[in-house]
Amino acid sequence: MPRSIWKGAISFGLVTIPVKLFSATEEKDVSFRQVHPEDGGRIKYKRVCEKCGKEIPFAEIAKGYELPDGRVVILDAEDMASLPLPTMKQVEVVQFVAEDDIDPTYFAKTYFLEAEGPGVKPYVLLRDALLKTNRCALVKVAIRSREALALVRPKGGILLMHTMLWPDELRDGGFVAPPSDITVSDGEIAMAQNFIDALAGDFDPGAYADSYREAVETLVESKLEGAELPAEEEEPQEAEVVDLVAALRASVEAAKKRRADAEQQTDSTAGKAV
């Protein structure tokens, strides 16, 4: 069982729910080390003070807040622990909202909420009340020295908490918008809709895999065994497409064929299993 990263309580009106917080996700990206290619030795970094030149152990490093005039205010662990911030140990419910009201761009990280001791019954009360009203709880919480808005929502019998970015942390994407004079015809939109319909379906995350990670692992295995990877065939260079309708029509046919092939393969696998 993973270790909790935070302990506190959800304040639900006059009801208090003691909870633990667990990370709900783990990244499984390919991990590389920086090494010296001649002998494989790892490259290490030292934390050196720019004034005295001494190497400083991580445990002795403090936080420094630099003011506009260049002065630095040093804050140690005790200073940070004494912050006058009630959300350090208390999740404050500030509003109840519909999940669709929150733009997914705001979401940062997802956590599991576990009730502690006497908090089990009020935990279930909040969970079931949110389900009945089809609402989520918008809360404020401080985790790892950072206060954030978060959304608490029920899923699969538990409560999840999604921390959110602040509005001023979202960039304005207007600079990537296409010019307003670029338009498409009804026929082009209709063909695009046909392509969307051909690939429409229920989301099944298990149907997808990290091809990059698999390719790197294959490369590592081949290097260990001294074997060469098979050369991939070069994809033919496609000419620039001017007729969008024709391109989309071809895309629809290709999508239908891929789906039919996938369904046939699934049926074949199921038949063998039986």
11 token code pair: 């304040």
* Beta-strand pair 136-143/63-66: unpaired
* pLDDT given at position 84: 58
37 in a structural domain:
no
Model pLDDT, residue 239:
47
Is the Cβ–Cβ distance between 161 and 21 less than 8 Å? yes
Domain membership flag for residue 76: no
Of 114, 148, 169, which one is at a domain's C-terminal end? 169
Task: Kindly state whether residues 21 and 127 are assigned to the same domain.
Answer: yes
| Residues with pLDDT less than 50, the chain | 239
Same domain, 11 and 116: yes
Count of CB atoms situated within 10 Å of the CB of 50: 5
In the chain, the amino acid numbered 181 is D
The pTM assigned to this predicted structure is 0.69
CA distance 110 to 160: 7
Q: Are residues 139 and 99 in the same domain?
A: yes
Within this chain, do residues 145 and 19 fall inside the same structural domain, yes or no?
yes
| Number of domains comprising the chain | 2
Which of 155, 140, 149 has its CA nearest to residue 8?
A: 140
Q: From residue 164, how far is each of 18, 96, 148, 150, 218 by CA, in Å?
A: 22, 15, 6, 5, 37
Q: Hey, what are 149's tokens?
A: 């808005």
At 91, which CATH number? 2.40.290.10
Distance of CA 100 to the CA centre of its chain: 18
Same domain, 136 and 155: yes
* Closest of 13, 238, 25 to residue 112, by C-alpha: 25
Residue 102's domain comprises 6-26+83-169
Distances (CA, A) of 148 to 11, 38, 79, 107: 16, 46, 20, 11
Please answer whether residues 110 and 25 qualify as being in contact, where contact means their C-beta atoms are separated by less than 8 angstroms.
Answer: yes
Pairing outcome for strands 158-164 and 136-143: unpaired
12 and 132 belong to one structural domain: yes
Are 161 and 188 in a shared domain?
A: no
Which of 169, 190, 216 is where one domain is finished? Answer: 169
Between β-strands 6-12 and 90-97, what pairing exists: parallel, antiparallel or unpaired? parallel
Residues 132/182, Cβ–Cβ less than 8 Å: no
Q: Please indicate, yes or no, if residue 156 is contained in any of the structural domains.
A: yes
Whether 39 is covered by a domain: the verdict is no
186 and 262 inside one domain: yes
164: three-class secondary structure by DSSP: strand
Q: Is 219 inside any structural domain?
A: no
Q: Answer for the pair 161, 219: CB distance below 8 angstroms, yes or no.
A: no
pLDDT digits (tens, 9 = 90+) for 58-70: 888 888 888 889 8
Residues 14 and 136 in one domain: yes
Going by C-alpha positions, the residue among 3, 11, 6 that lies closest to residue 140 is 11
Same domain, 153 and 189: no
**Domain for residue 92, yes or no?**
yes
122 shares its domain with 195: no
Q: Which two tokens stand for residue 21?
A: 């917080």
> Are 24 and 4 contacting, i.e. CB atoms less than 8 angstroms apart?
no
- For residue 130, what pLDDT is reported? 96
- Domain co-membership, 10 together with 122: yes
245 burial level (CB within 10 Å; 0-12, 13-18, 19+):
middle
pLDDT at 240: 56
Asked whether residue 38 is assigned to any structural domain, the reply reads no
Q: Phi-psi region for residue 178, left (φ > 0), alpha (ψ -120 to 50) or beta?
A: beta
Domain edge (last residue) among 169, 189, 216: 169
Residue type, position 65, single letter: Y
Q: Does 102 reside within a domain?
A: yes
